[in-house]
Amino acid sequence: MIRAALFDLDGVIVDTAKYHYLAWRRLAAELGFVFTETDNERLKGVSRMRSLDLLLEAGGFPENSFTATQKEELAARKNAWYVEYISRMTPGEILPGVLPFLAGARADGVRTALGSASRNTGIILDRLEIGTLFDTVVDGTMVTRTKPDPEVFLRCAARLGGIPAGECVVFEDAEAGIEAARAAGMRSVGIGTPQRLKQADLVVPGFGGITWQEIKNQLSTKV
Ligand code: G16
Ligand code: MG
């Protein structure tokens, strides 16, 4: 039986991935290289500092090209642009089908949680006006290890009153997030393509036209 639905934020509830990409691309341009959308895939779901390391690697910078202080400054510069972009978001940017899907799960008595690597989760939830749709929120300011470590999702389950991992399903768009769900011992639904999210129990392109009951039925046939 599934008693909890845990949702990633970026790429699942809202397409903030495009704003992350714009800000990282702007930083890359300042550093003198072009950062492609393909390179950006690897940054999805991973922490800000790890993302910076991946960006510098894509730019061909040898390890230790920057001191820790310089890296903090680069990450802060990127974050300032990112915050500028997301501060203009509106509830109209919630991805199609998300609100009815969440309502369907809640009407079925399922507890809901948001589990994000982002330290900007609070701003995004405020801008989208959806904070009250989640029984609990665990974000990048509350975990010590980021995805693919399972900490964020295990904390969600604990904060929902200790729901066993086997009774939780995670909705994720990033490979690192699907790995985190599996490491937690939870079921996972990938939001994207089966080619990219090979490890997910089920993959859907998005929440448009899909109901909670359909997902629940499909997962129960896979136990
Ligand atoms: C998100 C994004 C990642 C980003 C991370 C940290 O994770 O997918 O690309 O690097 O948050 O974000 P911030 O710099 O805002 O703290 P998730 O877990 O919501 O997909
Ligand atoms: Mg994501």
Structure-token pair, residue 48:
């800000």
> Residue 223 pLDDT more than 60?
no
Q: Which ligand is nearest to the CA of 41?
A: 1
% residues pLDDT > 70 (the chain)? 99
% residues pLDDT > 90 (the chain)? 92
Span from the CA of 117 to the centroid of ligand 1 (angstroms): 5
Span from the CA of 44 to the centroid of ligand 1 (angstroms): 7
How far apart (Å, rounded) are the C-alpha atoms in residues 176 and 223? 23
Where in the sequence is the domain holding 74, given as residue range(s)? 17-86
14: helix, strand or coil:
strand
Q: Which ligand is nearest to the CA of 190?
A: 2
How far apart (Å, rounded) are the C-alpha atoms in residues 65 and 50? 15
Indicate whether residue 8 lines ligand 1 (CB < 6 A). Answer: yes
Instruction: Output the pLDDT for position 49.
Output: 94
How far apart (Å, rounded) are the C-alpha atoms in residues 24 and 177? 20
Q: What is the mean pLDDT of residues 179-200?
A: 96
For residues 54 and 158, state if they share a domain: no
For residues 136 and 179, state if they share a domain: yes
> Residue 103 pLDDT more than 70?
yes
CATH of the domain at 77: 1.10.150.240
Residue 157 φ then ψ, to 5°: -60, -40
For residues 60 and 101, state if they share a domain: no
For residues 142 and 175, state if they share a domain: yes
- Is residue 169 within 8 A of residue 148, CB to CB? The reply is no
The residue nearest atom 2 of ligand 1, judged by CA position, is 45
For residues 80 and 117, state if they share a domain: no
Instruction: Output the pLDDT for position 42.
Output: 87
For residues 107 and 205, state if they share a domain: yes
For residues 106 and 22, state if they share a domain: no
For residues 58 and 103, state if they share a domain: no
Instruction: Output the pLDDT for position 46.
Output: 84
For residues 11 and 55, state if they share a domain: no
Among residues 67, 86, 105, the one where a domain terminates is 86
Instruction: Output the pLDDT for position 44.
Output: 87
Q: Please give all residues whose CB falls under 5 A of ion ligand 2, grouped by chain where several chains appear.
A: 8, 10-11, 45, 173-174
How far apart (Å, rounded) are the C-alpha atoms in residues 114 and 133? 9
Average pLDDT over the chain, rounded to an integer: 95
CA 198 to chain CA centroid, Å, is 17
CATH of the domain at 119: 3.40.50.1000
Among residues 46, 63, 86, the one where a domain terminates is 86
Complete edge-to-edge strand list for the sheet that includes strand 187-191: 136-138, 111-115, 4-7, 168-172, 187-191, 202-204
pLDDT tens digits along 135-151: 999 999 999 998 999 99
pLDDT tens digits along 52-77: 999 999 999 999 999 999 999 999 99
How far apart (Å, rounded) are the C-alpha atoms in residues 108 and 3? 9
CA 69 → CA 26, 49, 149, 214, distances in Å? 20, 12, 26, 49
pLDDT tens digits along 107-136: 999 999 999 999 999 999 999 999 999 999
Q: Is 8 part of the annotated catalytic residue set?
A: yes
Q: CB within 8 A of 36, min separation 6: which ones? A: none
Q: Which ligand is nearest to the CA of 147?
A: 1
Q: Is 139 part of the annotated catalytic residue set?
A: no
Residues in the chain: 223
Please report the ipTM that was assigned to this predicted complex. 0.92
For residues 69 and 129, state if they share a domain: no
pLDDT tens digits along 78-90: 999 999 999 999 9
- Is residue 196 within 8 A of residue 175, CB to CB? The reply is yes
For residues 106 and 116, state if they share a domain: yes
pTM of the predicted structure, to 2 decimals = 0.92
> Residue 94 pLDDT more than 80?
yes
| Residue 116 annotated as binding site | yes
> Residue 222 pLDDT more than 80?
no
Among residues 86, 106, 131, the one where a domain terminates is 86
Span from the CA of 143 to the centroid of ligand 1 (angstroms): 13
Indicate whether residue 40 lines ligand 1 (CB < 6 A). Answer: no
For residues 11 and 21, state if they share a domain: no
Span from the CA of 19 to the centroid of ligand 2 (angstroms): 12
How many domains is the chain partitioned into structurally? 2
